[in-house]
Amino acid sequence: MPSQISRIDPHNQQQTLRRLSDLTNYVNNTIGDVGSNSGQLGALNTSINNLQSQVNALPISQGGHVVSVATTGTSVTFPTPFPNAATSVVAIDDHAGGSFRNMAITAISATGFTISASGAGNGAYWIAIGN
């Protein structure tokens, strides 16, 4: 293993993915050093697979603003699709059009959702969580 390994913030998925990539590269570069001792290589591969499973299970959040929300529904595409699924979306009226309106979220998928408003107005702020 590399001589120094620093701690990883478990909530920082990008940092964790970089570390996983570094570890994978290290393994690939040292397979020749392992030689015939396949037990060590197997254990190392199991550790990498376990780490990848943990990274994939971390929640991801993203949010945004919809400029105009129709009473009949407005489709919203996530800036970045979720790898597996969006598990929840919450929205609130941006109050730019006067009075507050109720928002309804429907048809949630890994790539986006549909939002509708209870009356005429402008937009809404939203946040989505998934994995």
pLDDT one digit per residue (tens) for the chain, 131 residues: 444 455 656 666 777 777 777 777 776 666 655 555 556 666 777 777 777 776 666 788 999 999 999 999 999 999 999 988 999 999 999 988 677 889 999 899 999 999 999 988 789 999 999 98
Residues above pLDDT 90, as percent of the chain: 42
For residues 19-52, one letter each, b for 16 or more C-beta atoms within 10 angstroms of the residue's C-beta and e for the rest, the string is bbeebeeebeeeeeeeeeeeeebeebeeeeeebe
pTM of the entire predicted model: 0.60
